[in-house]
Amino acid sequence: MTKKIFIEIPTWLSDAVMVTPAIENIINTYPKCRLTIFGSNVSTSLFKNHPNVKKIIIDTSKNSGNRYLNLRDFAKSVGKFDMAFSFRKNFTTAFLLWFIDAKNKFKYKRYDKRQKHQVVRYNDFVNKSLSITTYPNDLKVYLNQNIKNKTNSAKLKLGINPGAAYGSAKRWYPEKFAKVAIELSKEYDIIIFGGSNETKMAKDIAKILKKSNVKNYTNLAGKTNIDQLIENIYKLDLFITNDNGPMHLAASFKIPTVCIFGPTKYQETSQWNNPQSMLIKKEFKCMPCMKRECPLEDKENHQCMKSITANDILDTIYYNVQALDMSKKKLQKDFLSKYNIDKKTKIILFKANNFRQNGAVRFLRIISNLNETNFQAVISGDSNSIKFALNWAKEIGVENKILFLENFAIKICDIFVLPTTNKKFANNVLKAMKERCVVFVPNTNEASTIVDVFATMQGANDPNTSYKIDALLSNKNHLRHIKKENQEKAQYINN
C-alpha cells in the first residue's frame, strides 16, 4: 500500500543534508511511499530530484501577516497524510503538526544526552517513531540527470569555501585560504564558493590571488543557486571548507575534504561517512563554545581559528591527498627530511580512531622493548587521542622515540602495528598492506587471516612482537620480502 508522508525538514542546509539517511530509512520501511517535503527554499532544493518526492512546498509563512494563522491555513489546505514527520523541535513545528491532517504524527526529539553525531540523532528519531532498528547509511543527495560526469581536464579542481552562515566564529581567515590556494594553484584550478552575504571575503581572496599572479581561479560567491552549488561541488577533486552546509554536500559525494573546525562540536557535525575527510582543529579550554562570535578579547580572541595555519592545511593535503599520486620512496624521503631524520631510518606506525580499544598503550610498550635504534615511531590520530597517548608515553618513558601527528599517510610507514582487542576486520590493515607495509595484528582480529604468519600476533599483548620487529629492522631482505608479498596479496584481494 502506498503511504502518503509529510516531512518538515530542517532550515539549515547542513542539517537538511544530515537528515537524508533518516529519510532514506523511512523510504526503506515504506518503499512505495510518496513524500511531501516542506521547509526553507534552501533546504527543500536538495530534494528536487528525489524519486520518492512528489511535492515540494517552500515555507512562506513568515513572509506576511500572522505566521501562525498562515501555518494553520497551510495545514488545512495541504491534504491528508498517513504520517507526518518534523525534523525540527520548535513551537511553530508543534503548532503546524497539530493542524496537519495525518493518522500518525512525529516531532523530532533527542532521546538521550550522550554525545552522538547529528546524523545518528535524526536516525534515532525515525527508529523510535516507527519502532524499527536501522543504521544511518551515507548522506544522499540526488543529482539532476542533466549534470554531466566529472571531466578529465588538464588540471584538477580545488574548491575553497571561506563562509559560514552561522557566524564569524566558525570562519577561518580569507588571507589564509588565499595562501593555501596560491600554493596549490599549479596543480589545481581554484573555485571560490560563498553565499550572497559572503561576497566580500571571496573578493578579498580573489584580490590576493591576483596580486600573486594566480589567474586560474573562478569566484562563484553569490552567483549560484543550490542546484548550481551542488553541481560545482560534485565536480571538485578537493574541497577546503569551514563547518557549513557545502561541507556536508561534499561528504555526500565523497569529495576529499579538509574540514576546518573551531567553536563547534566536531563529534556531532563533522562529515558523515566520507573516507576522504580530513579534520583540522586545535584544542583550547574554551572549546566548544558554540558561539556565533568569539566573546574573548585581545590575545585570546578567536584562537581556535587563528592558531590554524596555512601549513597545517597544506601538510594535511600533502600527506593524505597528494600522497595518492606520489611514490612511497618520495614521501618517505620528504618526511624524513622534514623532521631531520636519517634517510636509512624505518618508520613504525600506529594509527587508529579508538586509541584505547585499538592498543595505543600496547604499541608504546612494544616500542619501549625494541633493541634496534634505526626506526622512528609515529602515532597518528585526533588531538584528544594524541594527548592520551602522549601522557602514557611519558609514563612509559618513550616520548622521545615517537612523533605524535594528527595527519599521517599510512603509505609512508614501513611497519604498521595495530595491537587491537577489536575482533572486527581492521580496515587500516588492508590499506597498509596495499601500501607495501609489514603489518602486525593479533590473531583475534579478522584481518589476521590475510597478514603474514610471521607478523601475526598471538593476542593483543603478544610479548614476542618487539623481538619480531627487531628482527625485521636488522634484516632488510626479510623486511622487503614481507612488504612485497603484502602488497601483492592486497592487490589480489582488491581485484
Over residues 18-54, the pLDDT tens digits come to 999 999 999 999 999 999 999 999 999 999 999 999 9
Q: Is 222 exposed, middle or buried (0-12, 13-18, 19+ CB in 10 A)?
A: middle
What's the confidence (pLDDT) of residue 495? 64
Residue count of the chain: 495
CA distances 216 to 119, 157, 230, Å, are 37, 10, 21
The per-residue pLDDT for 150 is 62
Q: Which residues are bridge partners to 7 per DSSP?
A: 37, 85
Higher pLDDT, 458 or 150: 458
Task: Please give the pLDDT value at position 7.
Answer: 99
Q: Tens of pLDDT along 438-490?
A: 999 999 999 999 999 999 999 999 999 999 999 999 999 999 999 999 999 98
**Average pLDDT, integer, range 330-359:** 90
DSSP β-bridge partners for residue 402: 377
The Cα-based distances of 370 to 248, 395, 415, 466 in angstroms read 44, 17, 13, 6
**pLDDT (tens digit per residue) in 105-130:** 999 999 888 889 999 999 999 999 99
pLDDT for 353 equals 77
Q: What are 274-326's pLDDT values in tens digits? A: 988 999 998 888 988 888 888 888 878 888 989 999 989 988 888 777 665 66
Mean pLDDT score across all residues of the chain: 92
Q: What is the mean pLDDT of residues 139-153?
A: 78
Predicted confidence at residue 298, as pLDDT, reads 82
**Domains along the sequence of the chain with CATH:** 4-130 (3.40.50.2000), 156-320 (3.40.50.2000), 327-494 (3.40.50.2000)
* CA distance linking residue 224 with residue 249, whole number of Å: 15
CB-based contacts of 171-174 (< 8 A; 24+ apart in sequence): 171/201, 171/242, 171/305, 172/242, 172/260, 172/262, 172/305, 172/308, 173/305, 173/306, 174/201, 174/202, 174/204, 174/205, 174/208
Give the three cell numbers for residue 241: 571548507
Q: How far, in Å, are 6, 304, 392, 399, 466 from residue 362 at the CA level? A: 52, 32, 10, 14, 11
Q: Does pLDDT of 361 surpass 60?
A: yes
Q: Is 135 exposed, middle or buried (0-12, 13-18, 19+ CB in 10 A)?
A: exposed
Q: Return the pLDDT at 194.
A: 94
- pLDDT at 148 > cutoff 80: no
Alpha helices, DSSP H, located in 190-256: 199-211, 226-234, 245-252
- pTM recorded for the entire structure: 0.74
Does residue 264 have a pLDDT over 90? no
Q: What is the pLDDT of residues 176-185, one digit of tens each?
A: 999 999 999 9
Confidence (pLDDT) at 149 = 66
